[in-house]
Chain A
């Protein structure tokens, strides 16, 4: 069964600190993995997209890694800011025509001052 599991479910950190969010998946055949940021009451916004051959991709203070062998991904946030408070969703796409995106349940990050 295609699944995406994220951990932790929620996380509280102090402003300026770094943090790492985890994503494990069992989607097969794998096509690509995306990380989205979703602010409360808003639609998801894409942070990174990685294919099978990509190990890391950065977008400003966000760095995503992908290990296709172990089917794990992480999203590292550097020097967190209050505006980073949001839900971070890992989404995996299967390389199969007509297959919908598989969403993780997200990690809720709260950055406090």
Chain B
């Protein structure tokens, strides 16, 4: 079945630094990737949607200059949290969907970001 690999699983960084999270589709071409943020005991909140080769579409309230998304290939999307602050500490999850598939939303295993 479809597998999405997300790295790193955990990262601790100092306030003011940037962190990059990678999301790879291992056995299918992901034409669309989604990035979510999840706070404790809350559901997933969509941050942005990215299609391969084009700019990401950000949800209302999500700063595109702070959360940089790159989807340069059909198997890789990255989320970079720039100038991270403690309030950016959260669980970030990516999801990928293959071409022509309204069924196949496969999630990565998530990244726990802690900004100190």
Contact = CB atoms under 8 A, between A and B. Distances in A.
Given A100-B34, A104-B43, A32 B105 contact: no
Contact of B43 (A32, A100, A106): A106
A43 B102 contact: no
A23 to B, nearest CB: 12
B110 interface: yes
A96 to B, nearest CB: 11
Of A41, A43, A91, A106, which is in contact with the most chain B CB atoms at under 10 Å from its CB?
Answer: A43
A105 to B, nearest CB: 5
A interface majority secondary structure = strand
Contact of B106 (A41, A46, A105): A46
Contact of A103 (B43, B106, B112): B43
B44 A103 contact: yes
A42 B110 contact: yes
A103 B34 CA distance: 14
Nearest to B40: A40
Given A31-B102, A34-B105, A49-B103, A44 B112 contact: no
A89 B43 CA distance: 8
Given A103-B44, A105-B43, A41 B112 contact: yes
Q: What are the nearest 3 A-B pairs in CB distance? A: A43-B107, A43-B110, A105-B43
Interface of A: 31-32, 34, 36, 41-46, 49, 89, 91, 93, 100-101, 103-106, 108
